[in-house]
Structure 1
Amino acid sequence: MTKNRVMAKYLSAYILFTFLFIGCKENKKAEPSPPEKELTVLEKIAYANGYKNWNKVEELKFTFNVDRDTAHFERSWIWKPKTNQVTAISANDTLTYNRKDMDSTAYKTNGGFINDKYWLIAPINILWDKNGSTNELSLKAEAPISKESMQKLTVVYKQEGGYTPGDAYDFYFGDDYLIKEWVFRKGNQAEPSMTTTWEDYSEVGGLKIAKMHQNEDGSFKLYFTGLEVKTN
Structure 2
Amino acid sequence: MKKLLFTMIAGALMISCNQNKKEQEEIAKDPNLEIHEKIAMANGFEEFDSINKLKFTFNVKVNDTLRSERRWTWNIKSDKISLTEKDSTMSYTKKDSLAKDKEYIDQRFVNDSYWLLFPYQLKWSNADFSEAKTAKAPISGDEMQMLTVSFPSEGGYTPGDSYDIYFDDEFMIQEWVYKASGGGREMATTWEDYEDFDGVKISKMHKSEDGNFELYFTDIYVE
Short-chain TM bin: 0.7 to 0.9
After TM superposition, list the pairs within 5 Å mapping 1:186-225 onto structure 2.
Answer: 186-187=180-181, 189=183, 193-225=186-218
* Residue 163 (1) aligns with residue 157 (2): yes
Q: Matches of residues 21-170 of structure 1 in structure 2 within 5 Å?
A: 38-72=32-66, 73-100=68-95, 102-129=98-125, 132-170=126-164
The secondary structure found in structure 2 opposite 1:187 is coil
What is the percentage of aligned positions where both structures have the same residue? 42
**Residue by residue, what CA displacement relative to the aligned partner does 1:143-184 show, whole Å, maximum 9, x if unpaired?**
000011111110111111001100011110011000000000
C-alpha deviation, 1:37, in angstroms: 5.2
Aligned residue pair count: 192
Q: Deviations over 1:197-232 (max 9, x none)?
A: 0000000121000000000111100000000001xx
Aligned-partner Cα distance in 2 for 1:228–1:157: 29
Shift of 1:188: 5.4
CA distance in 2, matches of 1:70, 1:56: 37
In 2, distance between residues paired with 1:221 and 1:152?
Answer: 22
More deviation in 36-45 or 162-171?
Answer: 36-45
CA distance in 2: counterparts of 1:152 and 1:185, whole angstroms: 14
Whether the 8 Å CA contact 2:35–2:132 is kept in 1: the answer is no
Residue ranges of structure 2 left out of the alignment (5+ in a row):
1-29
Moved over 2 A (4+): none
CA distance in 2, matches of 1:183, 1:142: 12
| Alignment partners' CA distance in 1, 2:205 and 2:218 | 10
TM-score by structure 2 length?
0.83
Cα distance in 2 between the residues matched to 1:68 and 1:163: 23
Change in Cα spacing, 1:176 to 1:37, as seen in structure 2 (3 Å) is: closer
The two structures, once aligned, show a CA RMSD in angstroms of 1.4
Checking the alignment, whether the CA contact within 8 Å between 1:46 and 1:123 is kept in structure 2 is: yes
* CA distance in 2: counterparts of 1:168 and 1:37, whole angstroms: 26
TM-score, normalising length: structure 1: 0.79
CA distance in 1, matches of 2:182, 2:167: 20
